[in-house]
Structures are given as C-alpha cells and as structure tokens.
Amino acid sequence: MSNFYDALESRDPALRERELMAALPQQIARAQDLTPAYAELLDGVDPDSIASRSQLAALPVTRKHELLERQKAQRAHDVFGGFSAIGWTGQVRSSGAQRVFQSPGPIYEPEGQGRDYWRSARALYAAGFRHGDLVHNSFSYHLTPAGAMMESGAHAIGCSVFPGGVGNTELQLQAMSELRPHGYVGTPSFLKILLDKAAEAGTALPSLRKALVSGEAFPPSLRDWLRERGVEGYQCYATADLGLIAYETPAREGLVLDEGVIVEIVRPGTGDPVAEGEVGELVVTTLNPDYPLIRFGTGDLSALLPGHCPTGRSNARIKGWMGRADQSAKVRGMFVHAGQVAEITRRFPELGKARLVVSGEMANDQMQLRLEIANAPEGLAEQVAQAMRDITKLRGDVVLVPPGSLPNDGKVIEDARKYD
C-alpha cells in the first residue's frame, strides 16, 4: 500500500514550484474577475506579472480582521464581503455554494461542490486512515466547518464516518464501544476525555488505533500518553478560510505543507518574507477557485524547516503552530500594534529585526525598542526614537544591538510588565 496519498506529495521540488507559480497568475485573474474584494485590492495588478514568490510578496496581505470588516460592511447584499466566487440566489454570486458556515466573528465561509473541498484527505492518509476504515468524527458539525472538513476528506479516502460532533461524552463512548471505529478525528483534549472515561467505566476500545487531531496544541506529552493506550495520534493545521495548510507524518519532524496552497512566512505586522528558519506570520495563498484568498494572513506564527520530510514527501515543512502574530500592547492608555513597529523600521532600511519591550510597574509603563543593525550610523538611535514618537504618539528608548541578538520567536511586541 502506498505511503503517499497521491503522486503530488513526492514531486521534484523544482517541478512543484514551477507548477505552483504557473497556477498563481490564473488564480489572481480569477480573484480579480469573480470577487469584488480582490477586484479592488488588486486593482491595476497584471496577473501575468505575478509568477514568482518575489512578485507575489509585492501584493498586499489581507488579514482576518480586514475580511471580517468587509463582511460586516456588506452583510445586506454579500455575506462573504466580496471574497467568494460562489454563493446562492440573492447574493452577489448567485450559485455554486453547497453549504455556508459561520465561525466566530461571525465570519462566513462557503463550501463549494468539489470532492474533498477542504483537502483534508491528505492529512488523514498521512495519519494512517485507509479505505474501509470507520472514523469517529468529534469535530463540530454545528455552525463551523471542522466536522464537514474532516468528513469530506474521510469520504474521499473511502472511509465510513460516525458524526459524533462535540459533547455527549457518554453517548460517544457508547458508540465507540459498539461501532468499534478504527480511528478518531477531533480535538486532542476530547480524545483524552473519552479515553479517561473509558478507563473509569472499564470500557475496552481495542479497535481505536489512530487519530488525527487539530484545533488545539498537541504536545509530545499527550502524544506519548495516547501511544501508551494504543493510539497513534497525528496533528494537522487547518483553518475554516483556507482548509488544510500542513500536516504531520510518521517522521514526526514538523508539518508538511499541503499541495493546494502557497505558504509564506512574513515578519509580523508586514508582508515582508523572512529568511528560512526565522519565526514569522503564516501568510497563505490558496488555489481554491471558489474562495480564492490571495496572501491571507492567518495571524499564526511558525517557521520553515530546512530540508524535506524523511518519509519522502518533498514539500516544504513548517515547525507547526508557535503562537499568535497579531500582537499589541496597551501603553499609557494607547494601543501599540506590530504594524506600527514595522512602520518605524521601514523608515530605516538598514535596520534588521525589531522588538518592542514594554516593562515597568502598573501606571509606569516603559517602552524600549531593540533593533538589530551591523554598523549603525551616528545619530540613528535618536532618529528612530523620533519616528517612534511620530507613529505611536509615545516616547520610548531605542537600543541598537548586533544582528542575531534578538530571540527567534516571532515576537515583535513583548509585554514584560509585572501585574501582581
């Protein structure tokens, strides 16, 4: 039996890159033609001129809060805020949506007609799910798309699905005991609850041998705890907007990127790609023709790993979820955002990585902007301090440090204040 879901996973990396970049202009053209939001956001952009990562990096990043703002402003005639190419009668796009979901915000997401629309089958396959398996799906089927995401991927493999949803622990445990599923899909914490309850009740679950978890952190300690109970758990990273982004393999070395997305890691608060290995915000361009999100900022931190997966999957890998990129701090009654720090550094091209440290006791906030630079010209710190006052309307100290001095954790704003 093949270790790969399809031949795309083991493509030559150079071939994959050529094929992704060949698909990119078509996706941009479709977004411009069929979605009012991108007709505006990419106005004047020639799709044929965007055929490389450097050219893609010149396009604006759309972050989730901006998508939400557009959706709210256009609720009366387009619940998707102009980002979807499909909808139903009465919407700007009159047909094509099979279902519509609501995520917190609320943000609405369309589901099109395609098989394995969210592309979750690849992650399920890597976690060991195969044709004929019964999958116990404990992701929500209510409002949000997680349950449907995983079910469609399971069906694409040829699995049967029990739609457990969330809650009703005793009933779900009874179903597991009686239906004897081969694997579990859901959050790792709920799987632990189920297994704990099974142990308390003396209920054997001998058939349950694999799991694909998401939606929460999946630390090695919990992975090992599951293994001790006979369950091999793997994780994947997906969002309601983008579908599958990356997935774990038996190598346990980071998460391999999905084949249907183009992923960049950018400095938080900007759209500027960072070097391989540096922590930054995940920005994703999806090749989904129905919901063609271009440079969509996830707000999540991660970093690209060097090399390729030992399993033979040749796509790039990320470290996994490493925190949130949409950082801010309230200083002396005013909010300071990562984008403002980026605006400061853009005024001085010779600067490298930046980190704003907020410290002090309550009602005595202190700001210190630490900046990496190799050879600082005289008076640079004073110029940066003035720019900081202009942009944030707050005073702070500027400290220039050698390259490589700041932590590689993706933090642009560090709140080091004491609140006790």
* 301 token code pair: 């931190």
Which of the four pLDDT bands, split at 50, 70 and 90, describes residue 325? confident
Residue 408: which CATH number?
A: 3.30.300.30
**340 belongs to a structural domain:** yes
Q: Give the lowest-confidence range in 327-331, 351-355, 356-360.
A: 327-331
198 CB-near residues (< 8 Å, 6+ apart): 173, 176, 177, 204, 205
Which of the four pLDDT bands, split at 50, 70 and 90, describes residue 62? very high
Q: Give the N- to C-terminal CA distance of the chain in Å, as an integer.
A: 58
Contact 132, 159 (CB under 8 A): yes
What pLDDT does residue 222 have?
A: 95
Helices 380-392 & 338-346, crossing angle to 10 degrees? 140
The position carrying tokens 């445990």 is: 173
What pLDDT does residue 274 have?
A: 93
Contact 370, 355 (CB under 8 A): yes
* 222 token code pair: 């919990």
Residue 226, pLDDT above cutoff 90:
yes
Phi, psi of 93 (to 5 degrees): -100, 120
Contact 207, 241 (CB under 8 A): no
Helix (H, G, I), strand (E, B) or coil at 31: helix
* 304 token code pair: 């690209």
- Mean pLDDT score, 31-57: 97
**105 belongs to a structural domain:** no
Neighbouring C-beta atoms of residue 216, cutoff 10 Å:
14
* 368 token code pair: 């210190």
Residue 363, pLDDT above cutoff 70:
no
Contact 173, 197 (CB under 8 A): yes
Q: Give the lowest-confidence range in 71-85, 98-112, 283-297, 404-418.
A: 404-418
- Mean pLDDT score, 252-260: 97
Task: Measure the CA–CA gap between 287 and 294, rounded to whole angstroms.
Answer: 9
Neighbouring C-beta atoms of residue 39, cutoff 10 Å:
13
Q: What is the average pLDDT value for the chain, to the nearest integer?
A: 94
Which of the four pLDDT bands, split at 50, 70 and 90, describes residue 332? confident
On the question of a cis peptide bond just before residue 145, with omega within 30 degrees of 0, the verdict is no
What pLDDT does residue 350 have?
A: 92
The pairs formed by 66-69 with CB atoms below 8 angstroms and a separation of 24 or more are: 67/107, 67/241, 67/296, 68/105, 68/107
- Mean pLDDT score, 119-143: 97
What pLDDT does residue 302 have?
A: 95
**22 belongs to a structural domain:** no
b/e sequence 380-397, b meaning 16+ C-beta within 10 Å: bbeebbebbeebbebebe
Neighbouring C-beta atoms of residue 279, cutoff 10 Å:
21
b/e sequence 189-215, b meaning 16+ C-beta within 10 Å: ebbbebbeebeeeeeebebbebbbbbb
Residue 333, pLDDT above cutoff 80:
no
Phi, psi of 39 (to 5 degrees): -60, -35
**343 belongs to a structural domain:** yes
Residue 61, pLDDT above cutoff 70:
yes
Residue 210, pLDDT above cutoff 90:
yes
* 341 token code pair: 């720090």
What pLDDT does residue 362 have?
A: 56
**400 belongs to a structural domain:** yes
Q: What's the total number of domains in the chain?
A: 1
**263 belongs to a structural domain:** no
Q: Which amino acid type is present at position 301? A: L
Q: For 9-20, how does the pLDDT look when each residue is reduced to its tens digit (9 = 90+)?
A: 999 999 999 999
pTM score, two decimals? 0.86
Which of the four pLDDT bands, split at 50, 70 and 90, describes residue 335? confident
What pLDDT does residue 420 have?
A: 54
- Mean pLDDT score, 223-244: 97
Which residues lie across from 91 on neighbouring strands?
89
Strand ranges inside 169-288, DSSP E: 183-186, 210-213, 232-239, 243-248, 255-257, 261-266, 280-286
What pLDDT does residue 364 have?
A: 76
- Mean pLDDT score, 270-279: 93
Which among 83, 17, 6 has a CA at the least distance from the CA of 54?
17
**369 belongs to a structural domain:** yes
Task: Measure the CA–CA gap between 83 and 77, rounded to whole angstroms.
Answer: 13
Which of the four pLDDT bands, split at 50, 70 and 90, describes residue 92? confident
* 65 token code pair: 């809060």
CA-CA-CA-CA dihedral for 221, 223, 229, 231, to nearest 10:
180
> By residue range, what is the domain housing residue 387?
328-415
3-state secondary structure 74-113: CCCCCCCCCCCCCECECECCCCECCEEEEECCCEEEEECC
Helices (H), strands (E): how many in the chain?
11, 21
**370 belongs to a structural domain:** yes
